[in-house]
Structure 1
Amino acid sequence: MLLIYNAAIRLYFVVVWIFSFFNKKAKLWISGRSKQSFVRQKDAIWFHFSSLGEFEQGRPVLEAIRQKYPENKIVITFFSPSGYEVRKNTILADAVYYLPLDTARNAKEFLDLIQPKLVIFTKYEYWYNFFKEMYRRDIPLYIISGIFRPGQIFFKWYGGLHRKMLGFVTWFFVQDDKSKQLLKKIGKEQVTVSGDTRFDRVWQNALAPKELPQIAAFKNGQKVFIAGSTWPEDEYLLAELVAGYPGWKFIIAPHEIDNDQLDRLMELLPTESSARYSIISSLNGNFSNLRVLVIDNIGMLSSLYRYGEIAYIGGGFGAGIHNTLEAAAFGLPVIFGPNYTRFKEANDLVALKVGFSITNGEQLTAIMETLVNDDAFYSAANKKILTYVKEHTGATNTILNHIEKK
């Protein structure tokens, strides 16, 4: 099985290399790895994140470790360009790299260079050669905010290699008891149910939100519907909603912000009352006729929700929804598409009747009508969602306390 795994890793590289000739992300994935050079460290603390979402998820632990162990260098790696390109200059790290391809040689060379005393992976990404080499060197490896489901390869009859990979992990900090029980069934006892560090991150953000004066001027005391991380399937429905609610303002933050995607979105919206965020500074504060603002940058979304009353989270008509908790931390009821069941917090929000899944425009309008016209329902939802987020904080302290004892 290891031969097949190593062959698949190399095949993956070849496929991405082919795609790099006509795909921007693939090109960054290849060029970023080929150009980087590593700086030798000693007793570094290494954090790995798949992408930007996992960075934000693990950020509370990263910040706490940085403060707790100021004498140790912090090294961050990303698998995806969407994480690396946004956070490559973060002040929270002494070095930021793309994760080298998971080969035995790369694992040995990378660990020789950064010489970590501690390694933390967030949520998922399991790399056999890196994990085995850390285990061989007796380097503590922690998985934080982990979540496991019965359909994953670890729990299949043919998942022996991947189960072995889990055996290289020093300790798992998982989001729920279901994950702990699944791990115990395959003999992995080194597990703590700590919860999800994203709750700590979003609650921290909500307690000290970043002020955005231009967004405040756009809101101008009116009610705002905020749609985050949207895809085309979401945006067709949102365009209809804009037309149906002339008394509301809308902020749409697309997941993809290349010009072609932004141009397509702007064509869906009423041109006389829509604008990109990047041009509003030229309007000299005159936002009186603007009803729709399209965010054409990365990094604002988590701060935008403080200005909204209702949130829509994109991705539910594709591979899965994006981060609902950033909006929930501000007490916003959240709406999303049908593909949400893999996300624990989304299931929780639906069960609490503060999260709403829709499959078409009619359902979106019906939910909007309830939230807009039933003040008692909206007020109760607002309180329930804030209570839910606050009660689920604390994962960071659990993780830090465990690490300190080791």
Structure 2
Amino acid sequence: MKVFWVLLYNGFIYPLIFVFALVISIFDEKLRKSIIGKFKSTSLLKQYFKKFNEPPIAYWFHAASLGEFYQVKPVIDGLKEVRDDIKIIVSFSSPSGYENSINESIDLKIYAPFDFPWSIIKALNIMRPRKIIFASYDIWPNMIWLAKIKGIYTNIFAARIKHRSPKLRPVLKQFYKSMYASISSIYTVSETDSVGINTILGLNSSPFVKVLGNPRYDTVMKSSEDVSLQKTDSVLKREKRIIIGSAHEEDDDFLIPALADLMEEHPDMKVLYAPHEPSRTAIDRISKRFKKSGYRNTTFTKKSDMTLSSDRLIIVGVVGVLSKLYWQGIIAFVGGGLSTGIHNVMEPAIARLPVLFGPKYHHAHEAEELLKFGGGFCINGQNEFHDKIIQLLSDRKYLKLTSLAATDVIHKNLGSSSRIIRNLLND
């Protein structure tokens, strides 16, 4: 059965993906950057490794994008602390990860090579990695199959199997089984994920499957320690500011009219609005819609000074600052839950904010934890959003309770990166 999938993937599936990506890249700048970067990967590897007389001990980490890099970060930082002789190579699929992953623990970062057998063989022969480690989900079949043939240890950490995941359907289940069965070890986020992985594997007990948690909690906690002393303030002592983080256009449709109504009902309420991609077009679109409701905005464009103006409506026009700005709010809504899936709910949670988000959250274990412990709320539309904000604003005891519940979720899940490092070194 595995031979069938190898032939199908290399003879049809991946060539089709490759051609489709080339066509789409004509119109998509991000995809175009990724493809150009992939063409350069082999030369970057050659240039880096030619300086060593003897092949170094190299660990190859792969992250799809910036979100997955936040899972990788505490692991590679910890590895460097205990084994500074290990060379850390990190590959990305997306420009957002490649361009924004600034970290001293990375010895070389590249775009992941194309998943053609010859591209992967070249990369493996140049790098000779001791281990290949995937963050969460972005696994590539030929990387796994060829690593298995070459006797290279492979691992996935922070692995998740979503509720009703397509991976559990008969045909895809067999495809993923051909990959998972070739992996040396799999570390899942939760016991439920472990059950899902074992359901795919069936009786094949080749990889070790362990529940080790999500290291992104550790990243969020570490980042929060760099925020000013303001972080010690209870939400009850902060300005009455609602923070909208990583909003998509689908979110704008109900958020903007709801927020306009809330600002009219609560004259002391302020709004900080951060679009997922703060392009000039997105900022202008949001600004015009608020203006129609009678509210003018200022645009926040600073990257170092996090002091906010006294304006009631501020639109964030830069990336990389939202995690710090959450500390100046009392309630957060995180976007993406009406389209591609919610973004980072950990950052507002560690900032002690109750977190609202849309119904597409099942890929995020942390969102499920927030719902379970009362620090998060699933919102399906304008009326639910309005009513939940009113409930939180009108009941200070309830606001404080949900605030503490959100932060407790982060604290309960700390320590994953240490467990992953220990197991990666010993397995």
Deviations 1:186-213 (A, max 9, x none): 234511111111111112222332689x
Instruction: Trace 1:50-129 onto structure 2 (pairs within 5 A).
Output: 50-87=64-101, 89-129=102-142
Q: Helix, strand or coil for the counterpart of 1:298?
A: coil
What is the letter of the counterpart of residue 147 of structure 1?
R
Residue in structure 1 matching 2:402, options 363, 381, 397: 381
Determine if contact 2:238/2:328 at 8 Å carries over to the other structure: no
Matches for 1:364-375 after TM superposition, within 5 Å: 364-375=385-396
Aligned to 2:382: 361
Is the CA contact 2:30–2:95 (under 8 Å) kept in the aligned structure 1? yes
Point out where structure 1 has 5 or more consecutive residues left out of the alignment: 213-219
Structure 1 position 39, deviation (Å): 2.9
Structure 2 SS opposite 1:340: coil
Q: Report the CA distance between 1:122 and its aligned residue.
A: 0.6
Of residues 131, 138, 144, the one that matches 2:157 is 144
CA distance in 1, matches of 2:181, 2:246: 36
Structure 1 counterpart of 2:280: 259
Q: Report the alpha carbon displacement of residue 154 of structure 1 after superposing the two structures with TM.
A: 4.5
Q: Contact 1:154–1:163 (CA<8 Å) still a contact in 2?
A: no
Q: Is contact 2:159–2:189 with CA below 8 Å preserved after alignment?
A: yes
Q: Does 1:28 align with 2:43?
A: no
The answer to whether structure 1 residue 4 and structure 2 residue 17 are counterparts is no
The equivalences for 1:316-335 within 5 A come to 316-335=337-356
Secondary structure, aligned partner of 1:105 = helix
Once residues 167 and 251 of structure 2 are traced to their aligned partners in structure 1, the CA distance between those partners, rounded to angstroms, is 33
Q: Distance in 2 between matches of 1:257 and 1:392?
A: 31
Structure 2 residue ranges without an equivalent (≥5): 50-55, 231-236
Deviation at 1:301, TM superposition (A): 1.8
Kept in 1, the 8 Å contact 2:31–2:94? The answer is no
CA shift, 1:327, in A, is 1.0
Contact 2:240 2:330 in 1 (8 A): yes
Match for residue 245 of structure 2? 228
Structure 1 contact 2–161 (Cα < 8 Å) conserved: no
Distance (Å, rounded) in 2 between the aligned partners of 1:326 and 1:26:
27
Secondary structure of the 1:39 match is helix
RMSD, aligned α-carbons: 2.5
SS of 2:45's equivalent in the other structure is coil
| In 2, Cα distance between equivalents of 1:152 and 1:377 | 35
Q: Which segment drifts farther, 389-398 or 258-267?
A: 258-267
* Contact 2:135–2:156 under 8 Å retained in 1: yes
Give the residue type in structure 2 aligned to 1:142.
N
Equivalent-residue separation in structure 1 for 2:223 and 2:280 (angstroms) = 30
Q: Distance in 1 between matches of 2:16 and 2:420?
A: 36
Partners of 1:379 and 1:229 in 2: how far apart? 24
In the alignment, is the contact (CA less than 8 A) between 2:349 and 2:410 conserved in 1? Answer: yes
Shift of the alpha carbon at 1:223? 2.2
CA separation of 1:241 and 1:72: change in aligned 2, threshold 3 A: same
In the TM superposition, residue 358 of structure 1 has moved relative to its aligned partner by: 1.5
Say if 1:9 and 1:101, in contact at 8 Å, map to a contact too.
no
Sequence identity (%) = 27
Cross-structure match for 2:330 = 309
SS of residue in 1 equivalent to 2:106: coil
Matching residue within 341, 359, 362 for 1:341: 362
